[in-house]
Structure 1
Amino acid sequence: MTDSINSILSQIRSYQNQMGQNVAPLGDAARSNAISGLGGSAPAQAPSFTETLRSAVAGVNEAQQKSGALAKAFELGDPSADLAKVMIASQQSQVAFRATVEVRNRLVQAYQDVMNMSL
């Protein structure tokens, strides 16, 4: 299970990098300074989970639209849209969509686990 979680986290980081949101994880010293307020400068604001998820979903949407546009261009006989490009774009959008569905399933499962916890 931890392998799948690490895989999903790496995919989210990949989406962040694609969207230009490079966020370096805080080291122990930087984390303790940020928590205690002893750092000389304010820590950089990391994007929220909502922003990260929204950008990941937007990336999946973009990949699906690109795939659909390439497929339509291929069907219409556009010489710039060869079969290899169409198939690669289709597979990329399919993998991105499956990853998004898996993240959603994990979030729903985590929510259900929390709701079923006894106090």
Structure 2
Amino acid sequence: MKMAGIDSSRIDAMVAQLKATAAKMEAGSGINRTEESDAPKRLDFADALKASLDQVNKVQLTSQQLGEKFALGDDKVSLSDVMISMQKANISFQTTVQVRNKLITAYHDIMNMQI
């Protein structure tokens, strides 16, 4: 659904990606839940955001490495693979920029509220 220039499906996809990344971090950290703590663990926004930014960085580094391999003449890397990885990196970066812009706008809105 598109509202006032914002495609909410992209925001929902980013939130789902943040949750999935946070779940991966929790699973990878070896946190064991006991029977006493069956309640879902609170998700730390800073950790989820950092994990998402790390994922964007990883996608960009992978794209750069594929581009370098193709430029050096590696026949295992095709041009289509390079172009697809570059587009994925671009889309993930643009999404990150849009999320940052929305966070800044929300911050300004909160700061301008009258008490």
Q: CA deviation at 1:10?
A: 2.0
Q: Which runs of 4+ in 1 moved over 6 A?
A: none
1:13 alignment partner in structure 2:
16
Instruction: Give aligned pairs, total.
Output: 101
Q: Give the deviation of 1:5 after TM superposition.
A: 4.5
Are the equivalent residues in 1 in contact too, given 2:63–2:82 (CA < 8 A)? yes
For the structure 1 residues 103 and 59, does the alpha-carbon distance in structure 2 shift closer, same or farther, using more than 3 Å as the test?
A: same
Partner of residue 76 from structure 1, selected from 72, 75, 79: 72
**C-alpha separation in 2, matches of 1:77 and 1:11:** 35
Structure 2 runs not aligned, ≥5 long: 25-35
Matched-pair identity in %: 32
1:16 and 1:56 in contact (8 A); partners too: no
Q: TM-score under structure 2 normalisation?
A: 0.77
Q: CA RMSD in A?
A: 2.2
Q: For structure 1, list consecutive stretches of 5 or more residues without a partner in the other structure.
A: 23-39
Deviations 1:27-60 (A, max 9, x none): xxxxxxxxxxxxx853120321111111110000
Deviations 1:7-38 (A, max 9, x none): 22322312443x3717xxxxxxxxxxxxxxxx
Q: 2:22–2:48: 8 Å Cα contact kept in structure 1?
A: no
C-alpha distance in 2 between matches for 1:83 and 1:6: 30
> What TM-score comes out, normalization by structure 1 length?
0.75
Q: Tell whether 2:82 aligns with 1:89.
A: no
- 2:50 aligned residue: 54
Cα distance in 2 for partners of 1:108, 1:98 equals 15
Which letter maps to 1:56?
Answer: S
